[in-house]
C-alpha cells in the first residue's frame, strides 16, 4: 500500500513473548501535519501523556508503536521509558525528538522491557526500506485475530492522493475518543486547522460509536499524519476538495471501526443499533449506547434469543426522554414491538431467524422527534470471558 513520502517497518522484539511482530514504525520523509485524539480515561498511559504534550505542536514525523505492554500505571519509570523510546527513534532517523509520537498497547501495570526495545529500534530503522503498512497492522495486534487496514484514493485539483490507515482493538473497546490504536497517513496537503477539525468529526462518527465491552482503555490513541507529498494545493475548509477529502477520511475510519467490532473478543455477531425518533441526536446516541453496552442484551444476541424486552429496558434506563406507549422495535425489518407491546403473530419466530444471522440491525423508534444515531456492537460470548480471564498469562 503506497502513500507517497511514507515508509513503514515492523520487527519482532519479544516485548511480551517471542514469535510475532511487536514493534512498528511509521516514518514520514518530511515533517507532517498532525491531527490527534487521545483517551478520555483519567488513568493515562505514559505514551499518551507524552503524546498529548507533543501533539500541541501539530507536527509529527515518526510514530513508534509496541504491542504486548501498555506502559500504563508504570509511574515515573514509564515516562522515562517512553521518552527514551522516542529518543532512540529520533536518533536513528536523524529527526528532532519532539517529532516522534510513541504509542503502546498490551498488559497494564508491567514495566516496558527496555533492553528489548533498545535492541529492536535499530532493526526498525533498517527495515524502513522494505517494510509495509501491513507489517505495522500485524505488529500492533494483541488479542486481535486479523490485521485491520483500509485505504481510499482521492483527487484534489487533478492531483491524486491516498488516505490509508491501520487499527488494532478487540477488547476494552468503548473508546469515547478514538479507538484502541489507530494510525492514518495521507500524502495530501491539508490546511492544518481544518485537518484537525475534520479528523475529530470523522472520529466522532466512527470510533466513538463502537463498543465491544463498554471499557475505555488507558492507551486509546488515534493519529493522522498529512505530509503533502502528493503535491496538491493545500485543501481548505468549505471547498469541494475538502468535502471529497472528508468523505474519503470518514470512509477509512468507519471501515476500521467496523473491523474492530467484527473482531470483538469472542464475538459471533456484528450488530448495528439504530435509535431514531428521539428528541435529539444526543438522546438517540445515548440510548443506542445503553443498548449496545447491556450485558443482558449482548448475551441474548449470543444466544440468538429474540428477547426484545431487554432492549426496551436498556432504552428506559438510558436517561433519555422515552414514552413507552410510542416505542416501536425492529430486528432488521421484523416488527417485534409496537406502541411498547409485543407485535404478536409470527414475530417471535421471524425475529429469532434474524438473530441467527452473523450481522443484523436493531432499530428502536422512540416516536418523539427527529433525532437519530447508530452504534455498532458485538455479542457477549463464553469466549469473551475465557479470553479475559487469563489475558496476562
221-226 and 23-38 strand pairing: antiparallel
Compute the 3-state secondary structure of the chain and give helix, strand, coil in percent, each to the nearest 5: 35, 30, 35
Query: For residue 390, with 0-12 CB atoms within 10 Å meaning exposed, 13-18 middle and 19 or more buried, which class applies?
Result: exposed
If DSSP codes are grouped into helix, strand and coil, which group holds residue 309? helix
Asked if 179 is an active-site residue, the reply is yes
Give first-to-last CA distance, the chain, whole Å: 35
Confirm whether residue 168 is marked as ligand binding: yes
Nearest by Cα to 166 from 256, 43, 229? 256
Q: How far apart are CA 125 and CA 8, in angstroms?
A: 9
Buried b (16+ CB within 10 A) or exposed e, 54-93: bbeeebbbbbbbbbbbbbbebeeebbebbbbbbebbbebb
Confirm whether residue 363 is marked as ligand binding: no
Q: What is the DSSP annotation of 330-344?
A: EETTEEEEETTEE--
Beta carbons of 27 and 8 less than 8 angstroms apart:
yes
Confirm whether residue 85 is marked as ligand binding: no
| Residue carrying the nine cell digits 455479542 | 379
Pick the catalytic residue: 74, 105, 179, 216? 179
Q: What is the DSSP annotation of 190-240?
A: B-HHHHHHHHHHHHHTTGGGEESSSPBPSS-EEEEEE--TT-PPPB-TTSH
- DSSP secondary-structure letter at 129? G
Count CB-CB contacts under 10 A for residue 215.
16
Confirm whether residue 123 is marked as ligand binding: no
Confirm whether residue 142 is marked as ligand binding: yes
Q: How far is CA 30 from the centre of its chain?
A: 26
Confirm whether residue 44 is marked as ligand binding: no
Active-site residue list: 179
| Annotated binding-site positions | 142, 168, 179, 265, 388, 393
| Annotated binding-site positions for substrate | 142, 168, 179, 265, 388, 393
Amino acid at each position: 500500500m503506497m502513500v507517497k513520502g511514507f515508509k513503514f517497518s515492523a520487527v519482532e522484539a519479544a516485548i511480551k513473548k517471542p514469535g510475532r511482530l511487536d514493534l512498528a514504525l511509521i516514518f514520514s520523509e518530511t515533517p507532517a501535519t498532525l491531527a490527534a485524539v487521545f483517551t478520555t480515561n483519567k488513568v493515562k498511559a505514559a505514551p499518551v501523556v507524552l503524546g498529548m504534550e507533543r501533539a500541541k505542536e501539530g507536527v509529527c514525523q515518526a510514530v513508534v508503536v509496541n504491542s504486548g505492554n501498555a506502559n500504563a500505571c508504570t509511574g515515573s519509570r514509564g515516562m522515562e521509558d517512553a521518552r527514551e523510546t522516542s529518543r532512540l527513534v529520533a536518533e536513528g532517523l536523524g529527526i528532532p525528538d519532539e517529532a516522534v509520537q510513541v504509542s503502546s498497547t498490551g498488559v497494564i501495570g508491567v514495566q516496558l522491557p527496555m533492553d528489548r526495545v533498545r535492541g529492536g529500534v535499530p532493526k526498525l530503522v533498517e527495515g524502513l526500506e522494505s517494510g509495509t503498512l501491513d507489517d505495522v497492522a500485524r505488529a500492533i495486534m494483541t488479542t486481535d485475530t486479523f490485521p485491520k487496514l483500509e485505504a481510499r484514493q482521492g483527487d484534489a485539483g487533478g492531483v491524486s492522493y491516498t488516505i490509508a490507515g491501520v487499527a488494532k482493538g478487540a477488547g476494552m473497546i468503548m473508546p469515547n475518543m478514538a479507538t484502541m490504536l489507530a494510525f492514518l497517513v495521507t500524502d495530501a496537503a491539508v490546511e492544518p486547522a481544518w485537518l484537525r477539525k475534520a479528523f475529530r468529526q470523522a472520529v466522532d462518527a466512527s470510533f466513538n460509536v463502537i463498543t465491544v465491552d463498554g471499557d475505555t482503555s488507558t492507551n486509546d490513541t488515534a493519529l493522522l499524519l498529512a505530509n503533502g507529498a502528493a503535491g496538491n494545493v493545500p485543501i481548505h475548509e468549505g471547498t469541494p476538495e475538502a468535502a471529497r477529502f472528508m468523505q474519503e477520511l470518514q470512509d477509512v475510519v468507519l471501515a476500521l471501526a467496523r473491523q474492530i467490532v467484527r473482531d470483538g473478543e469472542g464475538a459471533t455477531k456484528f450488530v448495528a443499533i439504530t435509535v431514531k425518533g428521539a428528541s435529539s441526536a444526543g438522546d438517540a446516541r445515548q440510548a443506542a449506547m445503553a443498548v449496545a453496552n447491556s450485558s443482558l442484551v449482548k448475551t441474548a444476541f449470543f444466544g440468538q434469543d429474540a428477547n426484545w424486552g431487554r432492549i426496551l429496558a436498556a432504552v428506559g434506563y438510558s436517561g433519555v426522554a422515552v414514552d413507552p406507549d410510542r416505542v416501536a422495535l425492529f430486528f432488521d425489518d421484523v416488527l417485534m414491538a409496537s406502541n411498547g407491546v409485543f407485535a404478536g403473530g409470527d414475530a417471535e419466530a421471524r425475529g429469532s431467524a434474524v438473530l441467527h444471522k452473523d450481522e443484523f440491525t436493531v432499530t428502536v423508534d422512540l416516536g418523539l422527534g427527529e433525532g437519530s444515531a447508530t452504534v455498532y456492537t458485538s455479542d457477549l460470548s463464553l469466549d469473551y470471558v475465557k479470553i479475559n480471564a487469563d489475558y496476562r498469562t
